[in-house]
Amino acid sequence: MQRTILIVEDEIAQSQILQEFFNKKGFLTLEAENGIDGLQKSLETHPDVIVLDVRMPKMNGIEMMKKLREDSWGKNVPIIILSNYDVADNDIARIIYDKPAFYLVKSNSSLEEVLEKIEEVLS
- Name the residue with higher pLDDT: 87 or 117: 117
Residue-wise DSSP of 2-50: --EEEEE-S-HHHHHHHHHHHHHTT-EEEEESSHHHHHHHHHHH--SEE
- The string of pLDDT tens digits covering residues 43-65 is 999 999 999 988 888 988 888 98
- Short-list 57, 51, 46, CA closest to 22: 51
Mean pLDDT across 98-106: 58
Residue 86 has pLDDT above 80, yes or no: no
Residue 89 has pLDDT above 50, yes or no: no
pLDDT for 92: 53
pLDDT for 20: 96
According to CATH, what is the number of the domain 4-122?
3.40.50.2300
- Short-list 93, 118, 90, CA closest to 104: 118
Mean pLDDT across 18-38: 96
The structural domains of the chain, with segments of one domain joined by +, span 4-122
